Amino acid sequence: MYEETTIAAIATSPGEGGIGIIRISGEEASVVADRIFHTKKLKTFKDAEPYRMYFGHVEKEGKRIDEGLAVYMKAPHSYTGEDVVEIQIHGSTEALRETLELALESGAVLASRGEFTKRAFLNGRLDLTQAEAVMDIIEARGSAALTQAESHLQGALSRFVKDCRAKLSDLITKLEVTIDYPEEDLEDLTNEEIREGISTIEESLYNLLQRSEEGRIIKEGLRTAIVGRPNAGKSSLLNALLQEDRAIVTDIPGTTRDTIEESIKIGGVPLVLMDTAGLRETDNKVEKIGIERAWKSMEQADFILAVIDGSRPLSLEDRQILEELKGRKAMVILNKYDLPPQIEEEDIQKIAGNIPVVSISARYGSGVEELEESLRKLTEHQDRDAGRELFLTNLRHVNQVKKALEAVRRASESLESGMPADCITVDLTEAWNDMGEITGDTVDNELINRIFERFCVGK
């Protein structure tokens, strides 16, 4: 039981650093801290003034381990909602390990993954969406992802769910009135209200789901496939964007035989760049596998950068690639523009349609800044609206909203087909429960455990 245990863990990342933190939470937090942290300011750490930093040292059997600061946060005004003590010492791996071992010897037990945040949830400090937002903040890969996660932590999604469940509850109540008091002849008035209410909820859930793909891009980045025939300059382009020699570049066709994946930050949303094998006909078994993966990466990508050697006329492979770009979010890179051009922008657009074309020399870095500016515009909508609009960035939330939307639509169909009120109530209640699972209001312990198991120890 949480009220009977006091937990401790290292709360900072593994490795050396300027500061390392040992976090202790539970009824005996101050008792454990008093046994391991000594300061001239206090006779006992149980007398510590909450939220004030105390200078002192960690000591074991008369041996000083390290010096640092400690702060006591009194329940319920702490991260976990319990008494919490955080001891800040130098970020030495050995000093942190010894301090943690001392805390465990002094009455604490080692915290499991995500247990501090799990206690915050169970103690009502955070709902489940806010708890998951904590991990999203830790894992944020760009400023837009960080902004959106902060928005969820502040309760943006929680408020949406609460409002939706309140509307569903109101509809359920009105339907139950017609079930309990059929003699009052309330059905006509109630059905119109129910129809309008269901329509409003359905529209809000649908619109939120429509933004879920943008939420995925904010969180994971824009998956961008770099494709082209051999020696068009795909690897050179990757290296130019990364500003490092990540991919091997030679004049031998077929050098890249597997997909290389790297992320770059251009604006607030990262681009996940996938350098692929050159697309051509070949008898080499290994290269064939790479080419198959290249086509697959192209199919699964959010965006395609098609690299064309502008110093040569369009080949059959070039034309095949350009044909595949029709109707896709893509950009054509005319590479090697330091050499006499053999291809015009109009030649590209005749095949691929009205698609952006940028000329560069990946070898010399010319035109790369202009390309980066064009790429920045791809995600400026998500970057601008992160935190201002509500995006779903968590697959669990997306699935729950889908289930709720399906239940609401079933209720609408039942209403239109003249089904009894109790049949409609069943579907609306299911939607109410589905939405409650997002915030943890109607969630079971098994799911809670699965969610917090993906957290790091110390959080």
Residue 37: the pLDDT is: 93
d(CA 405, CA 428): 10
At 83, the pLDDT band (50, 70, 90 cuts) reads: very high
Mapping DSSP to helix (H, G, I), strand (E, B) and coil, where does residue 254 land?
coil
Gap between the Cα atoms of 116 and 99, Å rounded: 18
pLDDT at residue 257, rounded to an integer: 39
CA atoms within 13 A on the CB side of 131: 30
Give residues with Cβ within 8 angstroms of 57, minimum separation 6: 37, 38, 39, 64, 65, 66, 67, 68
Quick one: pLDDT at residue 46? 80
Q: Give the per-residue pLDDT at 251.
A: 45
* pLDDT exceeds 80 at position 297: no
Q: What is the pLDDT of residues 35-81, one digit of tens each?
A: 999 998 888 888 889 999 999 999 888 889 999 999 999 999 999 99
Average pLDDT over residues 106-111: 93
Mean pLDDT of the chain: 85
**pLDDT band, residue 189 (cuts 50/70/90):** low
**If we measure between CA atoms, which residue out of 48, 42, 32 comes closest to residue 101?**
32
Q: How confident is the model at residue 389 (pLDDT cuts 50, 70, 90)?
A: confident
Strands, sheet with 357-359, edge to edge from the N-terminal-most edge strand = 260-266, 269-275, 222-227, 303-309, 330-335, 357-359
Side by side, the strands of the sheet bearing 109-110 are: 37-38, 53-60, 63-73, 84-91, 17-25, 7-10, 109-110
Q: Provide mean pLDDT across the span 177-186.
A: 57
Query: pLDDT confidence of 259, banded at 50, 70, 90?
Result: low
Residue 254 reports pLDDT greater than 50:
no
Reference 266, options 163, 141, 352; nearest CA is: 141
Q: Does the N-terminal peptide bond of residue 230 adopt cis geometry, omega within 30 degrees of 0?
A: no
Average pLDDT score over residue span 212-237: 85
The sign of the torsion formed by the CA atoms of 209, 211, 213, 216 equals: negative
- Per-residue pLDDT at 3 exceeds 60: no
| pLDDT value at 156 more than 70 | yes
pLDDT for the residue numbered 44: 81
Per the listing, tokens 């206690």 go with 119
Q: 197 and 171 in contact (C-beta within 8 Å)?
A: yes
Instruction: List the single range of 48-62, 188-202, 283-297 with lowest mean pLDDT.
Output: 283-297
DSSP code of residue 340: P
Long-range interactions of 67-74: CB distance < 8 A, separation 24+ = 70/33, 70/37, 70/39, 70/45, 72/29, 72/30, 72/33, 72/45, 72/48, 74/50
Q: Please spell the DSSP secondary structure of 411-443, one letter per residue.
A: HHHHHHTT--HHHHHHHHHHHHHHHHHHHTTT-
How far, rounded to the nearest angstrom, does the alpha carbon of residue 434 sit from its chain's CA centroid?
A: 21
pTM for the model = 0.78
Q: How high is the pLDDT of residue 282? A: 56
Q: Please determine, for residue 284, whether its predicted confidence score (pLDDT) is greater than 70.
A: no
